[in-house]
Structure 1
């Protein structure tokens, strides 16, 4: 399993100098097996999906024709890159969009969420004119079989709702848990959900001090993410959804502080790969 970050920024993309080491694109993460002709799994379609799409089309990633794309939730920073995703315009590509969990939208509503931002008022090409073969899958079940393993969903607290995903395959566990607010106490369901993960990607938009004035905004502090990793016996922790006001110097210092507490903790950087 190879996990690659294509977007690590939260809320809005940033492009100023001093914000490039950790990346300025909004959330997008690729999971692949590194084998030619394989299908790939994509979590979220923030602006980082544009570069991913170019690499898939250029054959740099040696993909097959099947792409799976799922979403933690549908806030704009997690869908805004989709109209610029090059494989969606390739007649030979098959893209399966899926969402699982007890409040998964109906299929027509699911498609409408992505289509809305491509109406003529906002974008010159409609979703129906893109070209690739799209399928939309939703299920109220919180786990599905996937590629010889399984994907499990867990709903957590975020304005409008959001889901984390746990991918278990070939004896490895990867947990993707962004846009998450714990509240005054850590969410025990999240701790259990992350149990024994080889890799945990966890929201850490705020410092502990910032979180005091941002209750209800839907995000976690790096301290909370580390506490989850410690209690859940996580092997590697990657912090993501970086605040758009946190520049490279700020994040570099934050990473050092995090590693003093949890040595196998890293702040996600665009282009970074994790190999399991």
Structure 2
């Protein structure tokens, strides 16, 4: 496990973390009827205190981050509160919502954007966001958005400071075209793991299993069914069967499957969920807007 950053997250006296899904769809957003129960927005998950006060940790900025931004604009931030955005990688479906994130236009907001992990090969982190907001693509440049941005890679900084209880944030590199990273958040003995855009191959990636060990909640992508998986070798994704096996071998308590294929409608996913729960009782296909407490 590669310890590269520590993250300080505000948690309640009862040490309860709230995890909320704002984007659960993979590859491209879907707005068709019949696709809304499980969500049409692309990847975005937020972790915060149960009271919904204090700093917030955000994983990925797919189109779901727009609704997260609207929610955050309705809450009070203290001077030391921060929005920390951690990215698994920078494919469009994990990045495309960023220009529509309302707090990014608020001069009072402090936003840390981080990329972390062993063998990190990302280009200049600020450039990733600035380039997609050049005038050819978007009318507002990154430098004119307004928020106080801090761009951090693993070499640039080693610790965040705030008040409240501390948590450690770890990263793990896994197989995906261009590379991708999972994250493990540990807060006072509670463990949350976010693992999306991972292709295991013929056998499961043991590093992923070790990374998810004893997690209270594991979010693992499952874009394909077991029958579909062989048709998409090299695409960088997993089946729900593989995700369940990771959870079983890692001793995970609850498993949430995400990155739903854009061809899978609500009826289809609901039927697959029943198959999953027949094998692993505490397994759910993530629904947009769903909240999970640890």
Q: Could you state the TM-score of these two structures normalised by the residue count of structure 2?
A: 0.89
Shift in alpha-carbon separation, 1:266–1:36, aligned structure 2, 3 A: closer
| Partner residue in 2 for 1:148 | 166
C-alpha displacement of 1:161: 0.1
SS of corresponding position for 2:134: coil
Equivalent residues in 2 for 1:110-125 (5 A)?
A: 110-125=125-140
Deviations 1:246-271 (A, max 9, x none): 00000000000000000000000000
Q: Could you state the TM-score of these two structures normalised by the residue count of structure 1?
A: 0.95
Asked whether the 8 Å contact 1:40–1:67 carries over to 2, the reply is yes
Pick from 70, 74, 78: which aligns with 2:86?
70
CA-atom RMSD, angstroms? 1.6
Q: How many residues align?
A: 272
C-alpha displacement of 1:100: 1.1
Shift in alpha-carbon separation, 1:238–1:265, aligned structure 2, 3 A: same
| Structure 2 unaligned spans of 5+ | 1-16
Asked whether the 8 Å contact 1:36–1:63 carries over to 2, the reply is no
| Partner residue in 2 for 1:131 | 146
Asked whether the 8 Å contact 2:50–2:293 carries over to 1, the reply is no
2:152 paired with 1:98 = no
| Structure 1 unaligned spans of 5+ | none
Deviates more, 1:131-140 or 1:41-50: 131-140
| Partner residue in 2 for 1:220 | 238
C-alpha displacement of 1:170: 2.0
Equivalent residues in 2 for 1:166-177 (5 A)?
A: 166-177=184-195
C-alpha displacement of 1:113: 0.6
What is the alpha-carbon distance in structure 2 between the residues aligned to residue 47 and residue 215 of structure 1?
26
Deviations 1:77-97 (A, max 9, x none): 000000000000001000001
C-alpha displacement of 1:36: 5.8
Deviations 1:155-182 (A, max 9, x none): 0000000000000002100000000000
C-alpha displacement of 1:37: 4.3
SS of corresponding position for 2:20: strand
Report which structure shows greater RCO (CA 8 Å, sep ≥6): 2
2:34 paired with 1:18 = yes
What is the alpha-carbon distance in structure 2 between the residues aligned to residue 221 and residue 145 of structure 1?
35
What is the alpha-carbon distance in structure 2 between the residues aligned to residue 93 and residue 247 of structure 1?
37
| Partner residue in 2 for 1:39 | 55
SS of corresponding position for 2:242: helix
